[in-house]
Amino acid sequence: MAERPKLAYEYDALEPHIDARTMEIHHTKHHQTYVDKLNNALEAHPDLQGTCTGKLLRTLETLPESIRTAVRNHGGGHANHSLFWEIMGPGGGGKPEGDLAQAIARDFGSFEAFREKLTNAAANQFGSGWGWLAYADGKLEVLARPNQDSPLMEGKVPVLGVDVWEHAYYLKYQNRRPDYLNAWWNTIRWDAVAARFEKAKAGSHTI
């Protein structure tokens, strides 16, 4: 059974960048719905209930066709939001250090170039979706994907992601997605992102 993870911080901890009301609704309502619908889809498949969501997404094409869309949408939603809460926190922002900083400089030229690339990818994602920093074949890349699709579905490991569904920003930013994105950079906990990067390189990531 999938479970919604607790936040490691309060709902108002990301103020003024992301408001408390948005965080509370996003975490308690939107994320819970993904978890409930994923669990409902797996109800008739006890053999899959113990499989971690990341593995379900990596092996989507091998799942019974009757649950594939539900796992893609709701399993994707559960995995993506679990990552999202983890890579944000109070006192966030700034720049990465160490191996992650070096890999970003190697693959994008500079942190600033990477930031611009991810911001543009997320800003230009038409409709609902996510902007991603993903790791595959020894390299980092920026992706934008619709709905709750995860890089895991294409054999890549999500290291950092930003939710650009309107529910992630509409209360505070309305139609101003670029303003939300600029504010979001101030919430990133680069130590958590670096930990994900190390796991991705080692192949020991779960979601």
**Which part of the chain contacts Mn ion (CB under 5 A), choosing from 35-43, 167-175, 176-184, 193-201?**
167-175
Residues β-bridged to residue 157: 135
What distance, in Å, lies between the first and last C-alpha atoms of the chain? Answer: 15
Is 22 in contact with 11 (CB distance < 8 Å)?
no
Q: Which residue is nearest to Mn ion (CB)?
A: 163
Q: Which is nearer to Mn ion, 118 or 168 (CB)?
A: 168
Q: Which is nearer to Mn ion, 14 or 194 (CB)?
A: 14
Positive/negative CA dihedral, 155, 158, 161, 166: positive
Q: What is the DSSP letter of 205?
A: -
CA-angle at 26, arms to 167 and 187, nearest 5° = 90
Distances (CA, A) of 54 to 50, 156, 157: 12, 11, 10
Per-residue binding letters, 84-103, with Mn ion (x by CB under 5 A): --------------------
Q: Which is nearer to Mn ion, 132 or 165 (CB)?
A: 165
Touching Mn ion, residues 106-165 (CB under 5 A): 163, 165
Minimum distance between the CB of residue 201 and Mn ion, rounded to whole angstroms? 27
Minimum distance between the CB of residue 61 and Mn ion, rounded to whole angstroms? 25
Q: Which is nearer to Mn ion, 114 or 165 (CB)?
A: 165
- CA 17 to CA 20: how far, in whole Å? 10
Q: Which is nearer to Mn ion, 29 or 176 (CB)?
A: 29
Minimum distance between the CB of residue 184 and Mn ion, rounded to whole angstroms? 12
Chain centroid to Cα 163, Å, comes to 7
Minimum distance between the CB of residue 31 and Mn ion, rounded to whole angstroms? 7
Residues that bind Mn ion (CB under 5 A): 163, 165, 168
